[in-house]
Amino acid sequence: MPSAAVGDIRGPDRFRALWQRCLIDGAVDDSLKIHQRLLDGYDEPQRHYHTLAHIEQCMAMFDQCSSLARNPDALELAVWFHDVIFEPGNSDNEARSADLYLQFSDGVHDEATRGLVKRLIMATLHDGSSLEDSDACYMVDIDLSSFGLSWECFLQDSKHLRLENADLSDAEYYRRKASFQGRLLARERFFLSDYFAERLETQARANLARYLEMIQQRQ
C-alpha cells in the first residue's frame, strides 16, 4: 500500500517541485501542464493495473530507497513516466512513454538527465537490457515491487492485469503469464538490488510459486 510519505500525487506539488529541480537555467516551467498529461494518461479507461495507483505504489517504494540512488531525481522522473503510454498488447509502450518524457523535457532538462531517464524507463521492459548501473536495478525492482506485497494484494493486481488483456483467451493469457513469471522465478534473485531483495524477496517468491500453481491447475 502507498506510504503516507507519498501524499496525494494527484496534486501538482510533488511533481512540480521535481520538474523544477531539473530545469536548466532560463527554461520555461510547464510542470502543471505536464502533470495533468500524466494524470490523464493514468486515468485512461483501458487501464486496470497500470493506473495512478500503480504509480503511487512505485512512488512509495521510491521514497524508501531514494537515499540510496545515485540520481534520485532522474529515478523519480522515470517512475512518473514509465507507464504513461499504455495500450494493451503493444510492445512499444515503454519506448513511447520514454519518448513522451523526451518531448516534454527537450530544451528544459540537461541531456545527461534526459538520457538517464529514458534508459531507466526502458529498463522496465524487464528483458535484462538497460541495466548499466544501480539506479536501473532500483527502477526494475520498484516496478516489480507489487510482487512482494501480501498474497491478497498480489492476487488483486493479477486480476487487474487480466482485465487489461480481455482480448486474449484464458489459455493464451495464462500461457504468457506462466512464461514471464516463470522466468522471474528462475532468476537467482527475483529483485536485483540488495535493498528490495532483503525486504520483499521471500514474499515475492511465495506469491509467484502459488500463482503459477494456480495457473497450472487451470490448464
Cα 172 to its chain centre, rounded Å, is 24
Residue 7 — pLDDT band, cuts 50, 70, 90? Answer: low
The structural domains of the chain, with segments of one domain joined by +, span: 1-143, 146-219
pLDDT band at 115; cut points 50, 70, 90: very high
Residue 3 pLDDT exceeds 60? no
pLDDT greater than 50 at residue 27: yes
The rounded percent of the chain whose pLDDT value lies above 90 is 87
Does residue 41 contact residue 126 with C-beta atoms inside 8 Å?
no
Q: What is the pLDDT of residues 36-94, one digit of tens each?
A: 999 999 999 999 999 999 999 999 999 999 999 999 999 999 999 999 999 999 999 99
What was the pLDDT predicted at 6?
A: 63
Q: Which long-range contacts (CB under 8 A, 24 or more apart) does 170-177 make?
A: 170/218, 171/219, 174/215, 174/218, 174/219, 177/215
In the predicted model, what is the mean pLDDT of residues 114-139? 94
CB 148 within 8 A of CB 193: no
The answer to pTM > 0.85 is: yes
